Structure 1
Amino acid sequence: MSAGTGDTRSAGERLFQRECKFVAGAAAIDQLPPMGPIEVAFAGRSNVGKSSLLNALTGRKALARVSQNPGRTQQLNFFDLHGELVLVDMPGHGYAKVSKKTIHHWQHLIEAYLKGRANLRRLLLLIDSRHGFKESDQELMDLLDQSAMSYQVVMTKADTLKPAELAANQATFQAMIRRRPAAHPEILVTSAETGMGIAELRDALADLAAQG
């Protein structure tokens, strides 16, 4: 609560009610915007629900484009949250309806960004609650572990599973990341459809933003 204001909103709710706007798109490393506030990147397989989650977090229906066609996000998209936090929407890895040359270019861009961005504080690795970790997710985690880049697993589409199935999958995923040196120990469970876990994710990102 803010002292003396009577504001009972959480830090995450206050942060994400502020203006969030698209500031840059980078299809090549030399197109990256100047480094500013802390950045948090959103990564995941194509169609895992990155754009839907970004829209749910910010309370905006069209901040990030939502598409049923894998490979829609074709660059690093930067969204500034009131000068306090920058959200970065990354191209989906794994299956995408694009050429091998394009996929290779994305991989080079992503690796260069992850290794060279000093203000990138954490990567959120989105995993479909139903399907778990695929080979491309494991490859990205290998890269992050080798680079000592902090990342946190966020389960998406949690509303598509029954509570018992969701809990079992979460326990399985938790056991898998326990062996990963750069992985954050807590897995967040979300649904952009129902709002499950959105408040908790907002608060976690607000904590990162407060670290400056």
Structure 2
Amino acid sequence: MTMNFTLVPEPTDEDRETGRLLFAGPVDFVKGVVKMEGLPPADRVEICFAGRSNVGKSSLINALTGRKNLARASNTPGRTQEINYFAVGEKAFLVDLPGYGFAEAPVAVVRQWQALLKQYLQGRSTLRRAFVLIDSRHGAKPVDEEIMSLLDRAAVTFQVVMTKSDKISAAVLEANIAQVMGVLQKHPAAYPELVVTSSEKGVGLETLRAIIATLK
């Protein structure tokens, strides 16, 4: 069955304000987790962020929350092997998954992390959506499809967020969005609306806040 993928529409004024209010409140680092038994209580909606190394995940989380150093970037792919939890007031957890595409991580570490990720995705009942971050400059790569397939198998709805949209021309961006939409046709867990963002320019942040704030 062919899905019709599109860019997410502008949020309503009401949803935009709901998102603004949510992120205007406290946002705090809770803990980094390396084993399932270390996860905090599943007492609120969870939204996780996944993306290959250097896709701009930390920058997006920092821009989304309006905190400069909430999520810390590492220049070494595969360096951070923890699932990091951030509390957005008492309403939601933002969950930062380690970057995938481990060019410099030992094989045993990669295997351990992949097992934890699989357990997390399949075993967290409060996980409402995964945001899969894709670099607007490059489009979807095979390593992105690996995480999409994992989300398909875990039956976790995922929504693509295109990052760094300010780094390329409108024509290249349009072509890469079309390429990503083509790739998503193969993934039944894909949400049909893509979000285009730029952490530096603030593009798409209000939309992303509104999406998070209105997930039940």
Give the number of the structure with larger relative contact order, counting CA–CA contacts within 8 Å between residues 6 or more apart.
2
Runs (5+) with no aligned partner, structure 1: 1-6
SS in 2 for 1:196: coil
| Counterpart-to-counterpart distance in 2, 1:142 and 1:38 | 23
| 2:181 alignment partner in structure 1 | 174
**Partner residue of 2:208?**
201
Partner of 2:169: 162
Picking from 1, 4, 18, the partner of 2:25 is 18
Within 5 Å, give how 1:1-212 maps onto structure 2: 10-208=17-215, 211=216
Which residue type is aligned with residue 16 of structure 1?
Answer: F
Q: CA deviation at 1:163?
A: 1.1
SS at match of 1:187: strand
Residue identity matched to 1:131: H
Alpha-carbon offset, residue 8 of structure 1: 10
CA RMSD of aligned residues (A): 1.6
TM-score (structure 2 length as normaliser)? 0.89
**TM-score of the pair, normalised by structure 1:** 0.91
C-alpha distance in structure 1 between counterparts of 2:17 and 2:193, whole Å = 20
Distance 1:51 1:71 in 2: 14
Give the structure 2 partner of residue 4 of structure 1. Answer: none
Aligned length: 203
**Aligned residues with identical type, % of pairs:** 49
Counterpart of 2:10 in structure 1 is: none
Which amino acid letter does the alignment assign opposite residue 201 of structure 1? L
- The ranges of structure 1 where at least 4 consecutive aligned residues each deviate by more than 4 angstroms after the TM superposition are none
- Contact 2:102–2:110 (8 Å) recurs in 1: no
- Offset from partner CA, 1:20-44 (integer Å, 9 cap, x none): 0011210111211111110000001
Asked if the contact 1:178/1:185 (under 8 Å) is kept, the reply is no
